[in-house]
Structure formats: C-alpha cells, structure tokens
Structure 1
Amino acid sequence: MTLPTSARVVIIGGGISGCSVAYHLAKLGWQDILLLERKSLTSGTTWHAAGLIAQLRATENQTKLARYSADLYTKLESETGIATGMRQTGSITLALTDDRREEILRQASLARALGVEAHEITQETLLDLYPHLNTDGFRAAVHLPGDGQADPANIALALAKGARQRGVRIEEGVKVLDVLQERGQVTGIKWQSRGDIGSIDAEIVINCGGMWGRDLAAKSGVTLPLHACEHFYIVTESIPDLPRLPVLRVPDECAYYKEDAGKILLGAFEPKAKPWGMSGIPEDFEFDQLPEDFDHFEPILEQAVSRMPMLANTGIHTFFNGPESFTPDDRYYLGEAPNLRGYWVAAGYNSIGIASSGGAGMALAHWIEHGEPPFDLWDCDIRRAFGFQRSRKYLAARVSETLGLLYADHYPHRQFETARDIRRSPIHEALKSRDAVFGETAGWERANWFARPGQETDYRYSWHRQNWHENQRVEHLSIREGAGLYDMSSFGKLRIEGRDAARFLNRVCANEIDVPIGKIVYTQMLNRSGGIEADVTVTRLSETAFLMVTPAATVIRDMAWLHRHVSDNFAVITDVTAAEAVLCLMGPRSRDILPEIVPQDIGNGVQPFGTMQEIEIGMALARAHRVSYVGELGWELYVSADQAAHVFEALWQAGEPHDLKLCGLHAMDSLRMEKGFRHFGHDISSDDHVLEAGLGFAVCTKKPDFIGRDAVLRRKDNGLKSRLLQFRMDEPELMLHHNEPIWRDGEIVGLITSGAYGHTVGSSLGMGYVPARGETGEDLLQSKYHIEIAGEKHVATPSLQPFYDPRSQRMRT
C-alpha cells in the first residue's frame, strides 16, 4: 500500500467519532488530513449502535453538542446523498417510582430551560402515543417530541463522504501501531497494513480508536481510561400493523424500546454489566458480535414482556451482544493529552456515541483550530483523567457499574460503589474507626459525614433530605459555634519554583503573586476571554518557591495549564499532592485548641488572615495556613504525610475538652454555600467571566500583563452581561441541588449552578447567573424570583451578598 510520508493531521479510527472529527476539520478549511481505519469504516462499535438521538444531557453545554448532532444529521443527506435515516420520532421516559418521577420532572424543567421541548404527559396521553404499553405502576411520563433515531453506520459513512469531498484521505485496512513523539511533542505515527510497515510524519494525531484507544494511548504514556462492556439488545420479528412509535425508556426496568421498520428493538442497561476484552481485543475483530448470554438478559426480557404484552407472542429475530466503550464516570473524553502536545482524543462515549459524535467532532475541531473549545467542556475534558485509572482491574470493576448507572436513579450525592479505596489519606483509618462515611473524588476516599453511634454508615439516597441531613447539621453548627476538624488531604498541591517562578505566576494568575514570603493569595487563572480556567490559592514559601493549592479533581488540568504557559521561564512545576496531608481546624474555638500543642504565637497580630507560618505541632512540624472555605476562623495545617497521624492524634486530644467535632465534606459544602464561596466546575468555569462571577476583588489590573487582563478591562468599560446571584428558598423544607431553572419576573433566565442546605440560615441556598445588561445590582434585586423544582415554581429571595457574615469578619478576627 502506498501511503503518504507526511500529513498535517492523522486521525486514528473510522467509526462515527473519527469520521466526524475529519468532517469538521475539513469544514474549517484544514487540508492534508489522513484518516486511518484498522479494518473497515464503522466495523468496531458504530455499526451495531441502536442509533437513539436524544437532545437533553446533564449540562447545558453537553445539551448544545447533542442538539448540534441532531441538526447535523438531518442535513447530511442533502449534502452527501447518503441517507442517515434520521427520523424525529420523539421519546418518552416512564417513571414507576416516586423518586424516578421527581427525577424526570426535574429533567423536564431543565430541558425547557435549555430550549428543548419537553412535556409531562398523562397516562391517557401516554397510551395514545404508545398504545401497546402496559402502564401498571405509572407515576409520571415525560415526552420530548424533538428526539429521534437514525442509522448509525450511514451517518458515519455520510460524514466520511463529506470529509472526502473536502479533501480528506481515508484509508481502510491500516493499523496504527504507535504514535511517535519527541521532547513531549507528537511527530507522527507508525503503521502496518498487509505485512507492510511504515511511518508518517504528522503535527497532530487524534485518537478516535474507541475500545482500542486505551491501549494505543498507553503506549505514548497518555491516560485514556475506558473499557469495553458487553451491551445487549434483541430485535423482534416483524409485527403486523406496527405504527411508528416514539423511543420509549423505562429506566426503572433498565430497558429502552425502539420501533424500527415494523420491528421492536429492546435494549438493556442492566445494573451489573459484563466487562469484555480484559486481555485485549482480538486482532481480527471486525463487524463481530460476542457470544449470547440469555441468562444475563433474561430478567430484562421478563419485565419487558410484562410491560409490552405483544412481545409474548412475537418471535426474536436477533439476539445481539456487542462491545461498547464505557468510562469511570460515564462521560466521554475530548481534548489534548495533558502530557503530550499534539495528541488529541475523542473517545469513550458510554453508549451515546451516535447522539454525541456530531457535536463532539465540531467541538474538537474548533478546539484544535482556536486553541480552546467553543464553550466550557470540563465535563468531558481528557484532563480530568488520572494515571491510576489506566489500570485494567480498576476499569473492569468500575465500568461494570457505570453502564448500569446510565439508567439508575441519578440522585444528588450518589457515590460509586466499585473501584474504591485507591487513594487514601494518612488518617483514613483513624476517620474510618470513628464512623466516617466516605465518598470518592478523583480516586480519593474523603469523609463526607460521620455517623452517630448505632447509625448505619451507608447512604440512603433521596431527592429530598437524605439520611445524613441531621449529621450534616450537627457538623455544620460545630464549625459555626465551636470547633470542627476535617480532612482535605485530597487537595491538589503544585509546587512552582525557580528563578522566574514569581514572574511566571504573575503572568498566569490574575491577582498579584509577587508578595512577601508567607503571604497567601486567592486568585484565578484566566483565559483570553476573562473566563476562569482555575480557582486556586498561591502561597509564597520562599523567594523562589510557591505552593498552588487546587481542587482534587482539577490538579491535572491546572498542571497542564501551567506547563502550556511556562514558555521560556525558568520554573519547575511539581505535583506534590501525595507528599502532604491537610487537616483543617475551623471554628471560633480553634484558637483555644491550637495553643495547647503549638508553642508559636498564632494570634491575629502575628498571623493575620491570609498568611502562613511554620509551626511545631505536638512533636511534628507543619505549615499553618490561615485561610477558610467555611467562613470561620481557622487553619489549614499542611503536614508531611508520615507525620499526619501523629498531628491528628495531638489535635484530637487537645480538642476533646473543647468539644471538637469531626466533620465531613457535606458540612463544608453547606458552610461555603452560606458564605457564597464559589465552586469550580459548578459556579465558575472557563465560560464565566471573572467579574460576572463576583471575583473582581481577586484581580489586580494594576499588573501590566497577565492572561485575560484585556478582557477584564473591556468588561469593566462595557458593563457586565450577567451577575452571579445567591438565592434563599422561602420554604425551608425545599432542597436545591443543581440545574433548577431560575425564573425572573415570569421568564426563565438561568439555572442554579450549585445548591445546599444552609443550616445556620435555615433554608436551602443556591447560586446562579442572571442576565444583567445595563442593569445595576439594585435593579436585579428588585425583581421577583422563583426557582422551579420538578415542574413547580417556588419563591426565592435573591442577594448579591452572602447570607451569612457578608463582611467576612468572623474568619478575619
């Protein structure tokens, strides 16, 4: 085979994802694009996908991508001459429990806020739309008329043809053996075809390899955590006079139904899935299916026959079992690998690849072209992946759960049950022995709440007050009124040091970083538009050394951002997260506890808020950082991991006479909500302008040059387009979580970005952005606001100030 010796872009994988990326790059005018497929186009997963096209996703931006896909697929046939089979059949989701009813009504509220048509329908209307259905157990149903279904393989082939028409070269039967690199930059690929082996120079390589993608990425040191699972469906024999029907989802029975050419396709997302390909995928795998496992599918089928009685008298034409890729968090991966420039990824679609790939291809092409995505894509950013997630044992355990979670109840605070106890704090066992109930973030086991004596140490999920609500209240009030201790060893900790460290950090951070030794600076790293790429604190440890502290989930992202911008500055960036534990002692009585085990003066005159000092604590050494994410007097104590257990014991012993309480991160969340402290990934993101987020106090425009400065000055001059408000529900029994629509004077104007119950305030609190073009803060507050919860609107009180201690006097005293 004669292949070119060089290409600007090489795309690996000829499924719908690779074809979409090729199509969209070519549409932007890129030339010299080569797509390589190991076997035949669509032969991996695309060809056997069910082809459901749903518009609504969990977030606004993911919904934008799904809606883009649906719109694209309706246009491809006229552009390419290949029918995509796109039909706007609509979809229905049926709820059989009260909790599921709450969920789907919340989803319908979100849909309407995002411009997706959605209606709650009666049992009678459901039968009009789906006359063959047994509606026993009906609690609610939601209809999305704009959803549809399509032919997956033909969509991919249409995208491939559209790419070819714009100059993309597509070669089948070519396996990419390796991605070549030099000095942290992609230089090309090595290929094999029918016994021939060669290489191709390339500036950019895009891994769209689906279930093959993980192992290929690992050869280059790139983490791409995904694993194939067996995915089952059956197709019936033809059913006489079967009309066109909407797609039907019955998540309480783990099933979906699709009418197709007079037949019914019944698919399953069973609670415990079967991972596949632990030892690799067979070399000859092409348009293949896996062995039948009727025993595994039978419980789903039994419920389906009851739900749709006509199936009892209908033969099965096809029993299909095919592999699909799933990820540890049920979100796919897009973006550039954080540790290898020019290595891009679009993979791991968790059985929504057809609905997602059109938008994902557009977004990735934009990202490559402009150096940034079209909007915030943190949900699916490859930089959220951690190295330990490459482990096949980890992935096999986790994806056996995540497949089923697609149709499980999506409760707030739901915790993964598999692949746990991987990253543990040095005081993990001490907390466990005191009845800590753990959650997991970025692999870290973190104490979320502490059970009372005799109380079960498990979650009981609900959309309302969960079984730990009272525990959270006690922990919350202990920090407000006394003293509480919680473990934040999971904090990401990046040490930046070298001759140019201060200059470099002043370039990437919006606040002034060239401060005296011991000073702690709260700051954001901004993009060119003034959006927030990171929300961090930076502590000056010495003339040439700084510590950046960041959330556990974003440490890879933030480190990649730093490396991207370090340029020719003489500065070394090191991840020291595992080296130190962080114990947070907070509350008005914390200053009574520390002097019993700390000989240094910790008074306000010596250590005011926003400073750090090295201390002796018990018989150990630590750094005491006087900062707070809960709005009270307190310290974050940074302790060498080997001394953390000793320091914990010393603190606990000294605190017992002062009624020191162990606290979890649910309490921390409710405390920070009362103070209006933002949470990255919810309240602030790369889409949110730092001034509109209310964080202008952390921006030093006197500095002559930092990333985003011009955008900050422009927004100051031109006025804000929106403002982040805080809301307090007037009905204290209500619960806010996330994504509830905000109504202003009778119109939907935004969504709640995060919510929690404020135990001091005595009501649920939330934050959310409200349009504010040409309006003052006073103008915004004079309007009437409601928050929609599961289809019902409730009165809310807005504020630009925190509902608790708006002047922040308590944590500074």
Structure 2
Amino acid sequence: MDTTDSVPTEAGTVVVGAGIVGCNLAYQLTALGRDDVVVVDQGPMPTTGGSSTHAPGIMFQTAEDKILTKFADYSRQLYSDLEGADGQQAYKEVGGIEVARTEERMDFLQRRVENATAWGIDDPQLLSPAEVVEHLPLVDEEQILGGYYSPTDGQASGVVACDALARAAMDRGATFVPHTRTEDVVVEDGSVVAVETEHGRIDCDEVVVATNIWARQLGERLGVHLPVAPVEHQYTMTEPLEELSANAADVTDHPLFEQYENVSGEKATRLLASPDRPILRDQDNAMYFRTHGDAYGIGSYNHEPVVPDPRELGGNDPDGNQASVHDFTEHHLETATHPDRPDKAPRQASDELIPATAGKDLEHRYNGMFAESPNGLPVMGPVQGYDGLWTAAAIWITHAGGAGKALAEWMVNGTPSLPDGPIDLGHADVNRFDAHEGSWDFTRDIGGEEYRIVYNIVHPKWVWEGKQRDIRRTPMYHSHVAAGGEMWAEAGWEAPQWFESNADLVEEYGERIPDREGWEATYWSPIEGAEALHVREKVGLHDMTPFNKMEVVGEGAGAFVQRLCTNDVDLDVGGVRYTLMCNEAGGVRADITVTRTGEERYLLLTTGREVGNNHVAWVREHAPEGVHVNDVTSSLAAMVCTGPEARNVLSAVTDVDLSDDAFPFFTSQQFFVRNVPVTALRVSYAGELGWEFYTPSEYGETLWEHLVEAGEEYDLRPYGNGALNALRIEKGFRLWGADLDTEQTPYEAGLGWAVDMDTDFIGKEALEGGAEDLRQKVACLTLDDEEAVVMADRPVLKDGEAIGYVHSAEYGYTVGACVAYTYLPPEYAEPGTEVEVLYEGERYAATVREEPLV
C-alpha cells in the first residue's frame, strides 16, 4: 500500500480510522468524485490493529434488521469485485449455514428464510441434518435438528479488503497516513475546521469518526457522548486436523503476510488462509466456525459480557501487539459463564458439534474487541450541532461496505442510498439517542446486554429487563403502575403496553378478540384488544408524553416551518395541520402535526420512540438565525382523551364549548381543565372523537387524575400502546419508522393529499411529477382468515414470488381481521388484488383493501 509519512496540511474530508469502515468510506467518496480525502490511523496500514485486523471475516448476510441485511448484501457484492493483493477475489463465497439444536431455533431459522426473502437475499434454504453434513462433513449430524443455508454468504479478510479498498481510493486521489494518532477535532462557531494529529494539523471541511471501539473517546473531547461500547469475544484456532490435511495452505508468500505478521504474530499464517467450506454458526451455543486451511477457527460469544473501559484501550504497543486484542481468558472457554447458557461450557459445545476438534490443542487464542451500540445497529450520520462532523461506528466487516456506500451518498448527495434505491437509517442515526444514553453507566450496561443477546432468539417486542430501566418516567407513571400497567421501555421512557386493571374488559369483548399462539402471542395480551374496542365504543385515556414535541419560536418562525413542511401551514393562531417533512430526495423525513400557538410560535408534534430525536435534529439543523427550536418533550406532559364519550367526559371538567361548531376538528384552544392550564388539540391518533392535552409536566399527574375522575360515569379506561397501534393501523394512520420513512415519497405512501406544490419546501424539486410513474405504492392488506395474525418483516408473495414485505401489522379489532401495511409494485397495489403473506412457514391469503378500513 502506497501510504505517506507526511501529514497533509489541508483536505476536504478527513476520515479518522483506516479499518474496514474508513477504507470503505474513502473508496466510496472517491468513487463519487471526491479527490481530497485524507485517511489517518494510529496504526500501520492495512494492518491497523483494530478489529478489522483480528476478525475472522465471516459474513452471514441475513439479519432480522433490514438495514444490516441490505448492508451485508451490498458488502458481499462489493468485496466480490475487489482484487486482493495476491490477485485473487477478496470475497470467498463459500456459503453460510446456521444450525439448530432446539425446536425453538428451527422456528427461528424459518424466520431467517422469511427475512432473507423479504430483504432480497439469494436462494435462502432450510436444510435437514443430513443436508447440513453434506456441506459440512465434520459436523455431528446427531447434534442438530437442521440448518439455514445462504449460498452467497462467505468470508472476507478485513486486511485483504482494507488493502484493496485503499489502493483503489488512492488511485482516485485519496491519501492514507499511517502511524498518526488523532488528538482532537477543532471546531469554530459550530463548524469543523481542522483535525489535530500528533504529527500536525490538517485544515478540513469535514471529519468522519470511523474509529469503532475508540469512537467514544474522540467524541468525548467534543462533548459528544457516543454510546459505543467495546466488548470482548473469544476466537481460537485449532492445531492442524488430520481431517483437513488436504486443505493445508502456506500463506507466507502472500504480499500482505509480513505486515500481518508484524501486528498479529504467528496467527497471521492462519488468518490469511481462506475457508474451503461454508462458514458455520451454532447460535444455540453462541458460537461460530470457519476453516483456516487445515485448522478450524472457533469463535465464542458464549461467556459473560466483558466490557473494557474505552479510556484504557490505548493503541498498539511497541512490540506490535494489537490494541483491539486482549489476553485470552481460559475460564470463559472452559466454564459456562453466559447468563443465558449456564449448563454447558463453550469448549464442550464446540467439541460436540465438531468432534474432530475434541482434545485438540488450540494454537492461537485471543479475546478480540468489537463495538456495540444500544440497539445493535450502527452509529452513523452527521452529528447535530457540529457542521461537518460525521460518525461511522459500531459497524462490522459484514456491513461496512453497505454502510460506507450509504454514508458516502449521504455526505455527497444529501441522502443515504444503495444502488437499488434510498435506504432509511433512522434507527442507525447518530442523533437518535437520548441524553441518558451518553453516560458511561448506560453505555457499559447496554453494550453488555447487546453482547449477551447477540445470538439469542430475540422477539421484536422484547424490552430490557433489570439493567437500565426506570430512567424516564412520565408524570403519570405512578398512576400507570397503580393500574397494573405492563411497562415497556421506549427511548428510556417507561410506557404502558396494556393495563391489568382492564382485564375485566376481556370478558366483555372476548368474542371479538381471537386467541393467539406461538410467536405472535409473545409479549401480547388480549387486554390490548379489549382496550382498543373500548375506545371505539366508549372512551379511553392514553399517555402521549414520550411523543417528541418541539416549539419553534422567533421572527421568521412561520416562514421556516413552511419551508420544512409539504402542506400549507399558513395557519391562523389556533390552527392545526397534518403535514410531512421531506428530505432533499423527496423521501418522507417525518410526519408531524403543526399547531400555531402564537404569532411567531409553533408546536410541532411527531413520533416518539428512538427515531423521534432524529426529527428534532433535522429541524434544528435547518433553523435559520433568529429562529429557536426547543425540544419540549420532557417539559410538557401529554395525553389524549378519545372515544364517543370523550366530549361528555371533558364537559364535566371544563366550561369550554366543545361542540363541533365551537371547537372544530384540527383546531386548538388554551383553557383550564379545572385548575390545570392546557393546550388542547382536536385531533386523535386513535381516529375517534378526541382531544390531545399538553400541559407543563408538573401538572400532568393532576390533569390525568381530573380526567379519570370525570370519566368514571362513562367508564373511561386508560389504554396502552398495544391498543393504540391496533387503533391507528385500522384507521390507516402511518407510524414513522415502521410503515413510513425516507424510502417512500408522499405519493408512494398515499399521502399526496398532504403535499401542496404551491408552497416551497425541502424536497419539492424531487417531487415534481412524482404523483405519476410511482416506483412503489402503499397497500393495505387484510388476511382472509379472520382468526390469523402475522407480524412485520415477512414477505408478501404473488404467484409464489416476493413482491414486497410487511412493514407493520396488527389485528384490527373493529374490522375483525389482521391489518398489514406494505409497499408493492403499483400494478399489485390495487384494491381487490389477492396476495399471500409468508409467516412462520405458512402462507396466509390476503387481499388489498381500500383504506381507511374504519
């Protein structure tokens, strides 16, 4: 690799970190025309000493998260096109097999097939034990029940890929500077202006922190608390096995061997040897395997979490030892220390699955580090408040190609995308985090928890238990607990999913609530259905405090809000309007409710959960001088009283005229509910007669109590998020981050009515003529079997071929069928079209319907 020892004095973009992420990003930026990219790293190149150097490079593409699967699929294609320093393809497409030791895991592998089909992975297959052994003859057939096979999975050496990517980037003008530690990022007036390295300053316009396990330290110097935790896992390589003797390989003549050996020592002779058969995962025992010539490599996550303090990581030592490698901990291999797997030590599990390894010496053993984030997804994108500061952390070799492509597109063209179209990164956005997530206590504990569950069977609705709970409580928290609220954590908020106090409603509505069993019954209660029906027929009260709330204030606030919004928001004071915010490519950046509360004062209400903070960051990023964007999520308690009896309940606690004439739909008023000041909006996400109330947080509990007391006469009940999701989906209300995001335009999402092309807004140019010739179109499905329920992320089929996937689904208790939202080719999105949903191995007939259903 033709690197330089001299530090350039200026650059357009400085990438800090020349591991697999930094090299991918430099490759993509230069491919998009950037020729002033400088990449600096504290270690040698391409063997920097980070996880890219020690990782075995196995690439299983299929994940429950679409982002990770799409990133991996692109990475595979990219690495397949790269030529290593030895003239060979950088990617080894040997296939990948995940085996099951339990029936629960076999069910999980069926979901693997369905996720792969939904996300577009080639030819996913379920295998019998005998078929697994045909591919992997050293596996003991008696130990397994079957396997999942992805023929295009494989292996990519991080060092080989980094070298190939960097050479291509340098050919296009990039500069790589090894042995250079970055000491600080210089910011003036909120903008990046330079990087300070140990060997000099580089003036620049933007910086990308691509240091993975070191990302937190650099961020702390700027007051950016990135919740990225280094975690350790074990990797070992056996002595030569007689059964693999035909695969012995001498890699000492590889062009990169000497550099690799200088950093990794003797284990370089194994790490550079390619696998000759499918890579393997035994997730029931949190282990993975690949061959290295005539040896087997054994990776283990099957031990208690080990989370080093990032302040103590340092760099490579003078003897060439890698900074991302710690000494091997023997007891973690020979003893069962994983909290969820207490009955079998990793070595025992490995030897049972591959008996050829039993009793063999493990010649190379180490604890390697990688980075974890609170939701297991990357931490990437522009950091709010710092013009020109970008992050790209918590990214594995498997996903680095796709992440690098998406981030480069974001930096150069304004929006993240892959070759097949835009990709929404809301759940991977660096700005998604709440303040508490930046603490080391939280980062450490949740990083450890993410490590613990990395190979577990995790339900989509699963929430943390024990560690790092009860962090954020709405003012009504104690009322919820007293009512038997089933509390789930969302962005740190403790939010009720249902209330045990409503268990009596199940008897009243039970005939309209189908029983569930299996995966869809996990983390579900029939009380959710009873609460939803009660709201439709009587009245309910819901805590909306965790929804994100912004106040936009100042001279020019009206013009600014209009610039953000697709709809005409030239409102009278007290006016309310539903609208969208789009990005520059016309993708839906958020859907919001705008209320004009004063001459130059607006209240913007948007999705909560982890993606809501992204919307706050977006609004702040675009705010002009003189306009202030205040996040009032925590300072305002929020709740909605909704249902046919809502007007009667509220009339008992206020003397305001609540009639349709005096208080029309989509208007707001400020008044008192008894002694509590409120801003009331005549809207309801449940789709019934209702009012949302906003009040300073200290009044929230009192307001809740006033409404509960007034509602006793009308059988008002609190209801949780489970019921709300069922209510909103059968009304056709979108949920941003689930069935609406930047991968859809307003017209594709069926929300063209919220676009006024006579106004000027971000993304307008991209939407010109966008109502015709749609790439995809939203479709509302109902299952033909009125008792059946499916979940999201499963393929939608037509004549046996996947034409889309389920974005969100829930049973519609009012319509008496499971409702699913998807996006289909326009010719299949017409009402009456018959399709199928593949779910848990069964095909469920479904029909496209006119929306809304209620």
TM-score (norm 1): 0.92
Question: Cα distance 1:140–1:632, how it changes in 2: closer, same or farther (>3 A)?
Answer: farther
RMSD: 2.3
Percent same amino acid at aligned positions? 30
Q: CA deviation at 1:133?
A: 2.2
Q: CA deviation at 1:295?
A: 2.4
Indicate if the aligned counterparts of 1:84 and 1:154 stay in contact, CA closer than 8 A: no
Alignment deviations for residues 214-249 of structure 1 (CA, whole Å, 9 cap, x no partner): 121122233422011111122211111337331111
2:328 to 292, 298, 305: 292
Instruction: Name the amino acid aligned to 2:767.
Output: V
1:170 to 173, 176, 186: 176
Match in the other structure for 1:251? 283
For residues 694 and 673 of structure 2, what CA distance do their matches in structure 1 show? 11
For residues 129 and 400 of structure 1, what CA distance do their matches in structure 2 show? 34
Alignment deviations for residues 176-234 of structure 1 (CA, whole Å, 9 cap, x no partner): 111011111100111114xxxx3221111111111111121122233422011111122
Indicate if the aligned counterparts of 2:99 and 2:146 stay in contact, CA closer than 8 A: yes
For residues 156 and 612 of structure 2, what CA distance do their matches in structure 1 show? 39
Match in the other structure for 2:611? 554
Alignment deviations for residues 499-532 of structure 1 (CA, whole Å, 9 cap, x no partner): 2111111111011111111111110011233220
2:785 to 728, 731, 738: 731
Q: CA deviation at 1:745?
A: 4.3
For residues 66 and 346 of structure 2, what CA distance do their matches in structure 1 show? 32
For residues 593 and 408 of structure 2, what CA distance do their matches in structure 1 show? 33
For residues 146 and 709 of structure 2, what CA distance do their matches in structure 1 show? 54
Following superposition of structure 1 onto structure 2, how do residues 206-245 of structure 1 map, counting pairs within 5 Å? 206-242=208-244, 244-245=276-277
Alignment deviations for residues 383-432 of structure 1 (CA, whole Å, 9 cap, x no partner): 21233222111011101110122211131211123322222211212212
Match in the other structure for 1:192? 198
- Asked if 1:658 is matched to 2:704, the reply is no
Instruction: Name the amino acid aligned to 2:747.
Output: L
Indicate if the aligned counterparts of 1:239 and 1:262 stay in contact, CA closer than 8 A: yes
Following superposition of structure 1 onto structure 2, how do residues 73-152 of structure 1 map, counting pairs within 5 Å? 73-77=79-83, 81=86, 83=88, 86-113=91-118, 114-136=120-142, 138-152=144-158
Q: CA deviation at 1:161?
A: 2.3
Following superposition of structure 1 onto structure 2, how do residues 469-548 of structure 1 map, counting pairs within 5 Å? 469-548=525-604
For residues 461 and 373 of structure 1, what CA distance do their matches in structure 2 show? 39
Alignment deviations for residues 595-619 of structure 1 (CA, whole Å, 9 cap, x no partner): 2222222222211221111121132
Aligned length: 785
For residues 91 and 368 of structure 2, what CA distance do their matches in structure 1 show? 23
- Asked if 1:153 is matched to 2:159, the reply is yes
Indicate if the aligned counterparts of 2:804 and 2:822 stay in contact, CA closer than 8 A: yes
Q: Which moved more, 1:130-139 or 1:404-413?
A: 130-139
Indicate if the aligned counterparts of 1:492 and 1:554 stay in contact, CA closer than 8 A: no
- Asked if 1:751 is matched to 2:805, the reply is yes
For residues 103 and 543 of structure 1, what CA distance do their matches in structure 2 show? 55
Indicate if the aligned counterparts of 1:11 and 1:206 stay in contact, CA closer than 8 A: yes
For residues 66 and 575 of structure 2, what CA distance do their matches in structure 1 show? 38
Alignment deviations for residues 609-646 of structure 1 (CA, whole Å, 9 cap, x no partner): 21111121132111111111111111211111011111
- Asked if 1:428 is matched to 2:483, the reply is no
Partner of 2:743, secondary structure, is: coil
- Asked if 1:317 is matched to 2:363, the reply is yes
Alignment deviations for residues 22-77 of structure 1 (CA, whole Å, 9 cap, x no partner): 22222223222221111223312211112012232334454332122112222222
Indicate if the aligned counterparts of 2:462 and 2:523 stay in contact, CA closer than 8 A: no
- Asked if 1:280 is matched to 2:312, the reply is yes
TM-score (norm 2): 0.88
Instruction: Name the amino acid aligned to 1:744.
Output: K
Partner of 1:178, secondary structure, is: strand
Question: Cα distance 1:262–1:283, how it changes in 2: closer, same or farther (>3 A)?
Answer: closer
Q: Which moved more, 1:206-215 or 1:90-99?
A: 90-99
Indicate if the aligned counterparts of 2:461 and 2:523 stay in contact, CA closer than 8 A: no
Indicate if the aligned counterparts of 1:55 and 1:67 stay in contact, CA closer than 8 A: yes
For residues 151 and 722 of structure 1, what CA distance do their matches in structure 2 show? 37
For residues 252 and 625 of structure 1, what CA distance do their matches in structure 2 show? 50
Indicate if the aligned counterparts of 1:270 and 1:403 stay in contact, CA closer than 8 A: no
Indicate if the aligned counterparts of 1:528 and 1:707 stay in contact, CA closer than 8 A: yes
Instruction: Name the amino acid aligned to 1:17.
Output: V
For residues 754 and 747 of structure 2, what CA distance do their matches in structure 1 show? 9
Q: CA deviation at 1:266?
A: 1.7
For residues 473 and 12 of structure 2, what CA distance do their matches in structure 1 show? 44
Question: Cα distance 1:271–1:502, how it changes in 2: closer, same or farther (>3 A)?
Answer: farther
For residues 35 and 783 of structure 2, what CA distance do their matches in structure 1 show? 55
For residues 497 and 162 of structure 1, what CA distance do their matches in structure 2 show? 49
Match in the other structure for 1:381? 429
Alignment deviations for residues 467-490 of structure 1 (CA, whole Å, 9 cap, x no partner): 532121121122111121121111
Instruction: Name the amino acid aligned to 1:802.
Output: P
Q: CA deviation at 1:723?
A: 1.8
Q: CA deviation at 1:96?
A: 3.2
Match in the other structure for 2:795? 741
Can you give the 5+ residue segments of structure 2 that lack an aligned partner in the other structure?
A: 248-275, 335-344, 505-515
Match in the other structure for 2:260? none
Question: Cα distance 1:224–1:673, how it changes in 2: closer, same or farther (>3 A)?
Answer: same
Question: Cα distance 1:503–1:65, how it changes in 2: closer, same or farther (>3 A)?
Answer: same
Match in the other structure for 1:445? 494
Q: Which moved more, 1:500-509 or 1:152-161?
A: 152-161
Partner of 2:148, secondary structure, is: strand
Indicate if the aligned counterparts of 1:238 and 1:263 stay in contact, CA closer than 8 A: yes
Can you give the 5+ residue segments of structure 1 that lack an aligned partner in the other structure?
A: 805-813
Match in the other structure for 1:269? 301
Match in the other structure for 2:753? 697
Partner of 1:65, secondary structure, is: helix
For residues 258 and 746 of structure 1, what CA distance do their matches in structure 2 show? 34
Indicate if the aligned counterparts of 1:57 and 1:66 stay in contact, CA closer than 8 A: no
- Asked if 1:802 is matched to 2:852, the reply is yes
Alignment deviations for residues 710-737 of structure 1 (CA, whole Å, 9 cap, x no partner): 4434023x34332211111122343222
For residues 702 and 399 of structure 2, what CA distance do their matches in structure 1 show? 50
Question: Cα distance 1:713–1:206, how it changes in 2: closer, same or farther (>3 A)?
Answer: closer
Indicate if the aligned counterparts of 1:414 and 1:461 stay in contact, CA closer than 8 A: no
Instruction: Name the amino acid aligned to 1:253.
Output: N
Partner of 2:844, secondary structure, is: strand
Partner of 2:637, secondary structure, is: strand
For residues 168 and 755 of structure 1, what CA distance do their matches in structure 2 show? 46
Q: CA deviation at 1:327?
A: 0.6
Indicate if the aligned counterparts of 2:639 and 2:692 stay in contact, CA closer than 8 A: yes
Alignment deviations for residues 531-576 of structure 1 (CA, whole Å, 9 cap, x no partner): 20111111110111000011123333223322333346x4211111
Instruction: Name the amino acid aligned to 1:692.
Output: E
Following superposition of structure 1 onto structure 2, how do residues 330-345 of structure 1 map, counting pairs within 5 Å? 330-345=376-391
Q: CA deviation at 1:82?
A: 5.9
Instruction: Name the amino acid aligned to 2:468.
Output: A
Q: Which moved more, 1:516-525 or 1:160-169?
A: 160-169
Match in the other structure for 1:596? 652
Indicate if the aligned counterparts of 2:838 and 2:844 stay in contact, CA closer than 8 A: yes
1:363 to 391, 395, 406: 406
1:792 to 818, 839, 842: 842
Partner of 1:511, secondary structure, is: coil
Q: CA deviation at 1:278?
A: 5.3
Following superposition of structure 1 onto structure 2, how do residues 12-31 of structure 1 map, counting pairs within 5 Å? 12-31=16-35
Indicate if the aligned counterparts of 2:502 and 2:527 stay in contact, CA closer than 8 A: no
For residues 762 and 329 of structure 2, what CA distance do their matches in structure 1 show? 56
Indicate if the aligned counterparts of 1:76 and 1:82 stay in contact, CA closer than 8 A: no
For residues 432 and 425 of structure 1, what CA distance do their matches in structure 2 show? 11
- Asked if 1:415 is matched to 2:455, the reply is no
Match in the other structure for 1:33? 37
Question: Cα distance 1:623–1:25, how it changes in 2: closer, same or farther (>3 A)?
Answer: same
Indicate if the aligned counterparts of 2:11 and 2:37 stay in contact, CA closer than 8 A: yes
Q: Which moved more, 1:390-399 or 1:379-388?
A: 379-388
Partner of 2:611, secondary structure, is: helix
Partner of 2:449, secondary structure, is: helix
